[in-house]
Amino acid sequence: MNAEAGQSFSILVLHGPNLNLLGLREPDIYGRITLEEINAQLRSEGEVLGVNVSCFQSNHEGALVDAIHAAWGKESGILINAGAYTHTSVAIRDALAGVAIPTVEVHLSNIYKREDFRHHSYIAPIAIGQISGFGAASYRLGLIALIHYLQQSDSNS
């Protein structure tokens, strides 16, 4: 869905398993910010940038796949932190590839500084890019990068 004069982009923010526990969960790694605070930051950043931001979290792989399918024809871009499914889920990768909605992958922690099993992402090869290691700011940076990409694509079409 491209933005023309007066029409704005619509971004779906997807959060995977255990991210509902942000604020309580391993604060030394993920910080004290809650998921609701991150979502509120993204919505207000969206308002400043003139894009509509909606957010969804699930601990279930199939629910995330369904949300990606439902985004087809509706959302201009997807910002995703798939949590642990990043490292395991061919289904989420295939859903993102299937709907072909421009996607940016984000992580609060720097996954390359952590255990080896976190170094591989099934999503990275089909994403525009990945931002990892800036805490909650990874989401905001990812949102700006995604909007920048959409605006560039729009002006080239």
**CA gap 151, 126 in Å, rounded:** 19
Q: What residues line the site for ligand DQA (CB under 6 A)?
A: 18, 81, 83-84, 86, 107-109, 111, 118
Helix, strand or coil for residue 43? helix
Residue with Cβ nearer ligand DQA (8 or 109): 109
Minimum CB separation of residue 117 from ligand DQA in Å reads 8
Of all helices (H) and strands (E), which one includes residue 54?
strand 52-57
Minimum CB separation of residue 99 from ligand DQA in Å reads 21
Residue with Cβ nearer ligand DQA (3 or 123): 123
DSSP letter assigned to residue 149: H
Of all helices (H) and strands (E), which one includes residue 80?
strand 77-81
Q: Is position 30 annotated as part of the catalytic site?
A: yes
Catalytic entry in 30, 85, 122, 139: 30
**CA gap 80, 39 in Å, rounded:** 12
Q: Is position 107 annotated as part of the catalytic site?
A: yes
Strand pairing of 10-15 and 129-132?
A: unpaired
Of all helices (H) and strands (E), which one includes residue 74?
none
Residue with Cβ nearer ligand DQA (9 or 122): 122
Minimum CB separation of residue 50 from ligand DQA in Å reads 27
Report, as residue numbers or ranges, the catalytic residues.
30, 107
